[in-house]
Structure 1
Amino acid sequence: MRGSANPPFVEVIVQSRAAWFAARLALCGAYMLGGVIKLTDWPGAVAEQTHFGMTPPALWAAITIAVELVGPLLILTGRFVWLGAGMLGVFTALAALTANAFWTMPPGPERFAATNGFFEHIGLVGGFVLVAMLAGRDRA
C-alpha cells in the first residue's frame, strides 16, 4: 500500500473526526432543516406534495419528513450510516426525477433551472454513496 498523495496539512484535515462530522453535517443540513420546517408547517408540507402530484399528499408529506429527519440522524450519529445515506440518496434521486423533469420542458429559463437542479441532486446522491463507503472505515 502506498502512502497518501495528499500534502501533510491536507491529510491532517481529511483524517480529522471533526472534519468528518462537519462534512456529514454540511451534506445533511438542508434535509434536516427541510424536515423541521415541514414538521412545523404541516399544511405547507402537504401542499408541496400536492404541487408535485404526489397522492395521497399527506402520506407523502409524512414520508418526506421521516426521511429528512431520520436519514441525517443515522448519518450524523454514525449508526447505520449506510441506511441513512441510502434513504437520503433514494429520496434525492426520486426528488430529482419528480421536481426537476427538465426533459419534459420547452427550452427556456425554467428548463435551464430544472436541468441545473437535476444534476445538483445527482451530485448529492453521489455524496451519499461516498458517505456510505467511507463510514465503514472507522470514522464515525
Structure 2
Amino acid sequence: MSLDNPRFVAVLLDWPGTAFLARLALTGPYLLGGIMKLADWPGAVAEQAYFGMQPAALFAAATIAVELVGPVLILADRLAWLGAGMLGMFTLLAAMVANAFWGMDGQDRFMATNAFFEHMGLIGGFVLVAILSPRRRARA
C-alpha cells in the first residue's frame, strides 16, 4: 500500500497554477483589506483608534503597507519568506488585539476564541509559504 498521493491529486498539486492560487487564497484577504483601507483612509484611521492604536494614522499606514507589500512578495514568490513573516507577525499582533478572548466572557469569549485560533491557522499557512517557496523554486 502506497502512502503517496493518488495520481490525480499529484497532478493537481504539481500544476504550477495550483501554487499561485493557493498563495492568492492565503493572501487575498490581506490584499483586499489593504486596498479597502487605502480607499477609505478615514475609516482605516478610525479602525486603529477603535482598537486603541495610537497614533492611529501611523498604525493605519503601517497596516496598509503590510497588507499590500506582504501579499505582493508572496504572490511574486520573491522574498516570500519576508512577506510571510510580515503577514504572520501582523496576524499574530492583530489577533491578540482584536481577539483577546482571555479577557472576555460568554458568547463574546466563544467567538473571539474561534477567531483567534483561526488566525493561528493562517500563521501556520505563512510558515508553510516560507518553507515551501525556496523548495518549489529550486525544483523549477
- TM interval, short-chain normalised: over 0.9
1:10-48 per-position Cα deviation (integer Å, ceiling 9, x unaligned): 111111110000000000000000000000000000000
Equivalent residue for 1:129? Answer: 127
| Secondary structure of 2:136 counterpart | coil
| Secondary structure of 2:5 counterpart | coil
Percent sequence identity over matched residues? Answer: 66
Deviation at 1:137, TM superposition (A): 1.3
Equivalent residue for 1:36? Answer: 35
TM-score by length of 2: 0.94
| Secondary structure of 2:114 counterpart | helix
Deviation at 1:138, TM superposition (A): 2.8
Deviation at 1:60, TM superposition (A): 0.3
The ranges of structure 1 where at least 4 consecutive aligned residues each deviate by more than 4 angstroms after the TM superposition are: none
1:115-126 matched pairs, under 5 angstroms: 115-126=113-124
Counterpart-to-counterpart distance in 2, 1:122 and 1:13: 27
| Secondary structure of 1:53 counterpart | coil
Q: How many residues align?
A: 137
TM-score by length of 1: 0.94
2:111 is equivalent to residue 96 of structure 1: no
1:39-118 matched pairs, under 5 angstroms: 39-106=38-105, 108-118=106-116
Counterpart-to-counterpart distance in 2, 1:86 and 1:14: 24
**1:81 counterpart letter in structure 2:** A
The structure showing larger relative contact order (alpha-carbon pairs under 8 Å, at least 6 residues apart) is: 1
The Cα RMSD (Å) is 1.3
Runs of at least 5 residues in structure 1 that lack an aligned partner in the other structure: none
Equivalent residue for 2:16? Answer: 17
